[in-house]
Amino acid sequence: MDLSSFRSTVKVGDYRVWLFEAGVKPSKTIGLGCVANVAGAAYGKQARWNADGSVTLIGGVNSSDIVQCFPKIIPVPDGVEFV
């Protein structure tokens, strides 16, 4: 999947940022690990790929944060199928 970088306009906690309507979906929620960093800050952002196909950014973002995503390859976790 391609996670696009973005600038937040509001402060939110864990939030479903990417809502994919088409494509494969995992049979259960899986952790993606660190998928992005926040420009100008010394921390990364982790995410979860949900069974409905959406991706949740863990830990939230502040207003005006620029979230810069980067490519990542992960193995398919045991017990997960893609539909």
pLDDT for 6-42, tens place per residue?
999 989 888 888 888 788 899 999 999 999 998 887 7
| Residue 81 domain-assigned (yes or no) | no
CB 58 within 8 A of CB 50: no
Q: What 3-state class would DSSP assign to 69?
A: strand
| Residue 75 domain-assigned (yes or no) | no
Whether this prediction's pTM lies above 0.85 is answered by: no
| Residue 74 domain-assigned (yes or no) | no
| Residue 62 domain-assigned (yes or no) | yes
Q: What 3-state class would DSSP assign to 54?
A: strand
**Matching residue, tokens 């017990």:** 79
CB 58 within 8 A of CB 30: no
Q: What 3-state class would DSSP assign to 36?
A: strand
Q: How many domains does the chain have?
A: 1
Range of the domain at 36: 6-69
| Residue 56 domain-assigned (yes or no) | yes
